[in-house]
Structures are given as C-alpha cells and as structure tokens.
Amino acid sequence: MIDAGELRTRTRALLEAHPPATTDRADFLKARFDAGLAWVHYPEGLGGLGAPRSLQAVVDAELEAAGAPDNDPRRIGIGLGMAAPTVLGFGTEEQKQRFLRPLWTGEEVWCQLFSEPGAGSDLAALGTRAVRDAESGDWVVNGQKVWTSSAHTARWAILIARTDPDLPKHRGITYFVCDMTDPGVEVRPLRQITGEAEFNEVFLTDVRVPDAHRLGEVGEGWKVAQTTLMNERVSIGGMRIPREGGMIGPVAKAWRDRPELRTHDLHQRLLKLWVDAEVARLTGERLRQQLVAGQPGPEGSGMKLGFARLNQEISGLEVELLGEEGLLYDDWTMRRPELVDFVGREAGYRYLRSKGNSIEGGTSEVLLNIVAERVLGLPAEPRTDKDVAWKDLAR
Amino acid sequence: MSDLLYSEEEEALRRAVRDLLADRCDAATVLARAEAPAAEGPHDRELWKALTEGMGLAGLLVPEELGGQGATHREAAVVLEELGRAVAPVPYLTSAVVATEALLACGGSEAAELLSALAAGRTVGALAVGLATAPGAPFQDVRHDAGALHGELTGIADAAGADILLVPADDGALYAVHTAQDGVTVTPRTSLDLTRPLAAVTFEAAAARELTRGADAAVRRGLRAGAALLASEQLGIAEWCLTETVRYTKERHQFNRPVGSFQALKHRLAELWLEVVNTRAAARNAADALAADSTDADVAAALAQAYAAPVAVHAAEEALQLHGGIGMTWEHPVHLYLKRAKADSIAYGTAGRHREALAELVDLQAP
C-alpha cells in the first residue's frame, strides 16, 4: 500500500517535470491525472494509485505550497462529486477511460438530468422515456428535466429515464450518459427568485443515446442512482472550515463593524445562531476526522439538514440587522453564473438563495424520513405505490 | 484543531463503566435510592465504592504522584456520559471534577493531601458554591474571623453526602472544612433533581484550614470544568432519552401501526438525533480543550453549555411526550431524566449566561 512518503515523492517528481510557473494550466492538470495524483484513491490509470482516500490531503498540501493550478472543483462539482463515483462504480472499462480524465481536468463539465416537473422528492416517479430502437440499438429519449445546474455549460449529463412503464416505479428505470450537444437537447434558463438563472429546464426530444453510453444494466437505474445521490449528500462535511467560515461570518463582521445596527433582540438571536453555527462546524469536523480514521459515521445524513436551516436563519437575521439597507437588493438583472454560490453577493441574495438549501439535493422533509428510517431504524410509512406498475400510478 | 473522536482506551473505559452501571444502577435502584430515608444519605454508597475504589475513577484528573490516575478531562467526560445515561446518584461531577479542579488550582500541601483523599474515593468533597453559579459569575462567601468561619451558603450540590467542603470566605481565601466537625450544619433541601440533591450549609465559628489565598481563581477553574464536562453528562441523558423513545415508538401500536411509523413522530425523533450528534461534537470539543489546556478552553466550555443544556431538556421533554401516558407515571424512569436535565440546564450557568460569556469572548458585544 502506498504511504504518505511515497505520495510526497511522486508529487515532487510531478512538480519537477512540470514546473507550475512555466507549464500551461491544462497540461499540468493532465500530467497530474496521468501521474495518479488527481484522486489518489482511484485505480491506477484512472487518475489514482489505489491509495487510502485520506492521503489526498498530503498531495493537495504539496501542490498548494508549490502554487500548482487546481482543477476548480467548484466549477465541475457535479462531475467530481456525482458523475465520477457513479462512472467508477458502474461504468465499463471503456467508459471509465473515455470520461474520467476530461471530467477531472475540467475540459468537460457535467450536469445531472434527474429531477422532473412531476418527480422531485418522489424522484422514482420520473416519466422521461427511453425507448430502444430495434434497428440501431440506440435509445431514443423524450421528456423534460428541471432544476438542472450547469446544463448551459455542460458537455455531458448523467440521465435517468424510464425504460419499462409496466414495472413498479423503482424497477423500470435505466441510467445513461447523455451528450448535451445532441440536437434534441434544448436548454432553457430557469430564472429563480434571486433574479439569476443558475438552473435550467432541459427538454429532450428524440435524443439518441447509444447503448454504449448506458451505465449499469437495463432496469437497474435506480440502484445506480443511489450511488449518485449518496455522494451528493455526503459531499458536504468533508472540508475543514475555520470558525465563522460559513454564513455567520459576514453577519458577525457587520455586528463588529457597525455598532449602530445593534439591538438587544438581535444580539440574543445572533448569539444563539453563532453557537449553532460553531457547533455545526464542529460536527462537520468530527465527521471529517471519522472519515480520515476510516470510520465513516451516519452524521453526514444530518449535516445537510442542519446547514439548510442554519443558512436560512442566519441570512434572515442578516437582512434584518441591516435595517434600511436590508430593504434594498444589489441587482435583479438576470445572469447565468457558472458557479453555484450560496455565500457570494450580498445579504438579500444570501437570504433568497438559501431558501433552496432545504429543497435541492433532497428536501429536508425527505431527509428527515431517511434519518428516521435508516439511522434510527423506525418503521417505514405504509406504501401504496410499491407494487403498482408506473403507468397505473395516479398523476 | 481538537481531536473530537474517542480513542480505543476511552471506548474500553466506557464499556467498563456501562457494564458496571447496567449491573448496579438500573432505574428501579435509582428510584429506590431517591426515596430512601434521609439518614442513609443521598448517594448510592455501594455504587460509589465500586466506581472509585474498584475502578479508580475519582482520581482521573489527579496526577499520579498524588495518588490519582493522571488521566485527562477526555476520560472523565466519557465517565460522565455513562453516569448521565444512568442518572446515577453519585457525586462524581461535584467531587471528582469540580472540587478536584478547584483543589488543583490551590497548590500547597493541604490541597495535595485533600486531592489524594478525593482521588481514592473514600473522601467525598464539594465546592461550597451554589450549583447555579456560572464560571466567572459572582458567588456567595462567608465571614472569616480568627481562624473560623461564620455564615450560610445555599444551593450546594451533593453537600449532604460530602465529607469535606471547600468554602470561599470574605478575605478572598478558600478554606477546607469537615462536615462532621463542630459548628457545621448541613441542611438537605428537597430538590427538583432527585439524583443530585442540594443543601444549605451554616457555619458557626467552624474551624477552617486555608487552601489558597486566591479563592476566585480556584472557584473559577472548578466551575469551568464543571460546565464543560456537564455537557458530556447532558449528552448521556439525551442519548438515553432518544434511544428509549425510538425503542418504545417501534413497539407501541396505535391505529393498527407502530406509532414510530407516523411521519409526525419520525421527524421529531430525527431532529432530536441531529441535536444529539451536534451535542457530541460540542462536548468532545470542550473536554479536549480542557485536556489540552487550550487557549480556546473558555470558548469551548461556554459553547458546550450553551448548546447541550437545551438539548438535554428537549430530549427529555420529547421522551416524556412520545411515551404518552406512561411517561407521566412515577414508575417509568423518564421523569428522573427530565428532572436531571432541567436541573442541569441551570447548573454552572444557564445557556443564556454562557451566551453572554461568549459575547465577550468572541467579541460580539451587546448594544
């Protein structure tokens, strides 16, 4: 097994062969991938060395100290966090070779074609159809997806579609990789309450997906999607955040810098939220330490719930703290940002954007059910849709 | 950054304490103890003996050269988690943590001798400062005159079972007084928490031995350790309440379903789970900060109390409600946990007091 010293040696060799100061950014990233230092826990030949995941920090620290470029993980978050583990887990050797390198270097951005207007929390109810063309063997996809971040910049999408409507809803689904440049793919900006169009609607009309772009078996798409969704929810909590590193930071700063805004009521509320934010940060840190020690705990299931509520309460307090200024908004012009950014811009934006935190990536209500059933082992609610064919469900 | 996990040794310690408590400290035993005649004293002496003489737990914070275990607050916190989970009627927090920490701040041979006695567990000590006092808050003292103490102190936790009191006096010094000696009267009060009883103490020309000239620093250190490690006790209480309530709602049927399958209840229990998870991080952080003598220890202690105290109360209140009628009975132990949790939310300063302390410590000043 490769240890920290070995990784340090390899990282230094990479830096020597490709000095960051004189190497093109894209070339450096490709060389890093080929050296197995992209994600060290991935297999050799796919950007990794089969090393323990916790040792990535060793590589990252060396590279950061040397001023090496990174692959801008925020811009390619869906690819890194969701598409990559799914391709790694269920893809053929050919698919892994084709997709993972440009995904990691950021040459190819990914998006996620999961949610639909009629299938949000009840994702397995989705209605986008994929029908096999008997002649070519291709799949022909028709339907509409929604709430799709990065669709306007994406080269590829992970897509789930219904391939057998006669089966119960969890069973007739298949998982694909969809080419976003296909002429049947139409991306329309979906303007949100912030004024921005960070998300999109995606209309799929006779989109041809070759069978070689199927991930996993026909009809096994729900199982594959579980990997994607699990990775979506645990991606939070893996980072080390300093005290006041989240949304509480700007509020605390405003409180210190502008004593004229202070009231006793706001003081009480601010202190309570400061405590909640600091404790949530410690819980995230504890989860991180567990992961590093190779003992992942169930805490991750609750982290997103906690952060959603906290972000909403803190940003709400911030708007109120600003008083007259809180009545203003920086800019309602429609923009199409490339990054998902909860904290950027100003208080009004933070307040409005944080409303999505308890909806995106699983609503808080659904996550509470998941905690209750999977962590606490409480009995499931009686299900009326479990054994009914998808086509016979009420819609 | 603090180490927020449990070491293998700490987990082994937890198992040993939990096994002992499972044998000797079930709910029926705790309840019987609470109703025993006053003459028998408020504490379970047999259990205390097993924990201290048997396992050496009273000496965890005492250095080895004074006869202790030379362990840290991290281990003491694990013991308190288990004692909280069992609402054990023993003076661990007051004697082995608060009085011990106050003595550790004193220095000198008198304090060293007392520390050895407390570490052995044969002597029980109590800091004679009201249980509701927050670290750094003003506290009552008594008059010192010609080597003797005069006056009354109220709200002293576990004083009725203590052999030695550490008493702050108006000359700024801290004194040691035997409860059995002339001029000392300990009057038990009927307490909300049946398992951590309060008493008033009066001194009428009671002879006293000086421990330190700096009572303030000693009291502050004792109370800070009390507040920080109380969070671990609160974690144990909250965990018991959550675990028992999950178990009960899985078994209890109404409307032809286990009540735990109703979403309204599931969401409440999932919310509680999240609070318990957060409390564990806050409590571990506080214990580790004290163990490392970190510059952040004051913040860590205040943070832990500000967060953990309301969680323990919430957990006990939810446990009572979700148990339905049985939760209101004397025979079901949930009331013991509610009473302990509510009393704990006042002990060593309320959450509000600790938030005020944080306002100073992290520079979020009041208007």
Q: Are A104 and A87 in contact (CB under 8 A)?
A: no
Catalytic-role residue among A116, A196, A201, A232: A232
- Minimal Cα–Cα distance from A312 to chain B, Å? 17
Q: Are B96 and B157 in contact (CB under 8 A)?
A: no
Contacts of B366 in chain A (CB under 8 A): 262, 264, 267
Q: Which two tokens stand for residue A361?
A: 């990536």
Q: CB-based contacts of A3: which residues, under 8 Å, 6+ apart?
A: A55
Contacts of B246 in chain A (CB under 8 A): 376-378
Domain boundaries, chain B: 6-121, 125-213, 215-360
**A304-352 per-position pLDDT tens digit:** 899 999 999 999 999 999 999 999 999 999 999 887 777 888 999 999 9
* Site from B6, B278, B350 to mutate, A interface, most A CB atoms within 10 angstroms: B278
Confidence (pLDDT) at A237: 47
B310: nearest CA in chain A? Answer: A272
Strands B148-157 and B143-145: antiparallel
Confidence (pLDDT) at A381: 84
Contacts of A377 in chain B (CB under 8 A): 246, 250
Confidence (pLDDT) at A395: 77
Could you give the strand order of the β-sheet that contains B125-127, starting from the edge strand earlier in sequence? B125-127, B164-168, B174-178, B209-212
> For the structural domain made of B125-213, what CATH number should be given?
2.40.110.10
Put simply, the answer to whether A371 touches B273 (Cβ < 8 Å) is yes
Q: Are B174 and B166 in contact (CB under 8 A)?
A: yes
> For the structural domain made of B6-121, what CATH number should be given?
1.10.540.10
Put simply, the answer to whether B274 touches A375 (Cβ < 8 Å) is no
**A4-16 per-position pLDDT tens digit:** 999 999 999 999 9
Overall size of chain A counted in residues = 395
Q: Are B140 and B154 in contact (CB under 8 A)?
A: yes
B282: nearest CA in chain A? Answer: A279
For A63, phi and psi rounded to 5 degrees? -70, -40
Tell me, yes or no, if A121 comes closer than 8 A to chain B by beta carbon: no
A253: nearest CA in chain B? Answer: B364
Q: Are B96 and B60 in contact (CB under 8 A)?
A: yes
Put simply, the answer to whether A379 touches B359 (Cβ < 8 Å) is no
**B189-215 per-position pLDDT tens digit:** 999 999 999 999 999 999 999 999 999
H helix intervals, A215-345? 221-234, 248-257, 264-292, 300-321
Q: CB-based contacts of A83: which residues, under 8 Å, 6+ apart?
A: A99, A103, A110, A112, A156, A158, A228
Handedness of CA B276, B278, B281, B282 (dihedral sign): negative
Q: Are A131 and A140 in contact (CB under 8 A)?
A: yes
Q: Are B57 and B71 in contact (CB under 8 A)?
A: no
Smallest Cβ–Cβ distance between B270 and the set A264, A283, A368 belongs to A368
Instruction: Give the DSSP H or E segment for B185.
Output: strand B184-188
Smallest Cβ–Cβ distance between B250 and the set A256, A279, A379 belongs to A379
SS3 B207: strand
User: DSSP letters along B119-179, please?
Assistant: HHTSS-EEE-S-TTPPTTS----BEEETTEEEEEEEEEETGGG-SEEEEEBTTS-EEEEET
Handedness of CA B329, B330, B333, B335 (dihedral sign): positive
Per-residue three-class SS string for A111-137: EEECCECCECCCHHHCCCEEEECCCCC
Task: Give yes or no for residue B173 having a pLDDT over 50.
Answer: yes
- CA distance linking residue A23 with residue B330, whole number of Å: 76
Handedness of CA A336, A342, A346, A352 (dihedral sign): positive
Query: By C-alpha distance, which of B313, B312, B334, B307 is closest to B322?
Result: B334
Q: Are B276 and B315 in contact (CB under 8 A)?
A: yes
Give B8: exposed, middle or buried? Use CB within 10 Å, 0-12, 13-18, 19+. exposed
Put simply, the answer to whether A377 touches B367 (Cβ < 8 Å) is no
Contacts of B273 in chain A (CB under 8 A): 302, 371, 375-376
A94 labelled catalytic: no
**A237-287 per-position pLDDT tens digit:** 456 789 999 999 999 999 999 999 999 999 999 999 999 999 999 999 998
Task: Give yes or no for residue B17 having a pLDDT over 50.
Answer: yes
Q: What DSSP designation does B93 have?
A: I
Q: End-to-end CA distance of chain B: give it in Å, rounded.
A: 32
Other C-beta atoms lying within 10 Å of the C-beta of residue A238 = 15
Smallest Cβ–Cβ distance between A271 and the set B5, B278, B355 belongs to B355
Put simply, the answer to whether B1 touches A285 (Cβ < 8 Å) is yes
As a whole-number percent, the residues of chain B with pLDDT over 70 amount to: 100
Mean pLDDT of B47-69: 97
Put simply, the answer to whether A282 touches B362 (Cβ < 8 Å) is no
Query: By C-alpha distance, which of A221, A161, A199, A234 is closest to A338?
Result: A199
The class (CATH top level) of B215-360 is mainly alpha
Query: By C-alpha distance, which of A91, A4, A94, A102 is closest to A49?
Result: A4
Contacts of A369 in chain B (CB under 8 A): 263, 266-267, 270
* Site from B242, B243, B266, B353 to mutate, A interface, most A CB atoms within 10 angstroms: B266
**A33-81 per-position pLDDT tens digit:** 999 999 999 999 999 999 988 788 889 999 999 999 998 888 888 999 8
- CA distance linking residue B283 with residue B230, whole number of Å: 8
Amino acid sitting at position A5: G
Domains and CATH numbers, chain A: 1-70 (no CATH), 110-219 (2.40.110.10), 226-376 (1.20.140.10)
Mean pLDDT, rounded, of chain A: 93
Overall size of chain B counted in residues = 367
Q: Which residue has the higher pLDDT, B201 or A232?
A: B201
Tell me, yes or no, if A331 comes closer than 8 A to chain B by beta carbon: no
The position carrying tokens 């004792």 is B222
How far, CA to CA in Å, does B269 sit from each of A243, A303, B187, B237, B247? Answer: 29, 16, 41, 15, 11
Confidence (pLDDT) at A362: 86
In DSSP terms, which residues pair with B178 in a beta bridge?
A: B164
**A98-155 per-position pLDDT tens digit:** 999 999 999 999 999 999 999 988 999 999 999 999 999 999 999 999 999 999 999 9
Task: Give yes or no for residue A197 having a pLDDT over 50.
Answer: yes
Q: What DSSP designation does B180 have?
A: T
Rg (CA), chain B: 20
Contacts of B285 in chain A (CB under 8 A): 282
Q: Which two tokens stand for residue A169?
A: 């809803």
Amino acid sitting at position A157: A
Tell me, yes or no, if A376 comes closer than 8 A to chain B by beta carbon: yes
Give ipTM to 2 decimals: 0.95
Per-residue three-class SS string for B281-325: HHHHHHHHHHHCCCCCHHHHHHHHHHHHHHHHHHHHHHHHHHCHH
Q: Which residue has the higher pLDDT, A287 or B49?
A: B49
Put simply, the answer to whether B261 touches A381 (Cβ < 8 Å) is yes
Contacts of B307 in chain A (CB under 8 A): 275-276, 279
Tell me, yes or no, if A276 comes closer than 8 A to chain B by beta carbon: yes
Give B267: exposed, middle or buried? Use CB within 10 Å, 0-12, 13-18, 19+. middle
Contacts of A373 in chain B (CB under 8 A): 266
**B123-163 per-position pLDDT tens digit:** 999 999 999 999 999 999 999 999 999 999 999 999 999 99
User: DSSP letters along B219-288, please?
Assistant: HHHHHHHHHHHHHHHHHHHHHHHHHHHHHHHHH-EETTEEGGGSHHHHHHHHHHHHHHHHHHHHHHHHHH
Tell me, yes or no, if A54 comes closer than 8 A to chain B by beta carbon: no
Smallest Cβ–Cβ distance between B261 and the set A252, A268, A379 belongs to A379
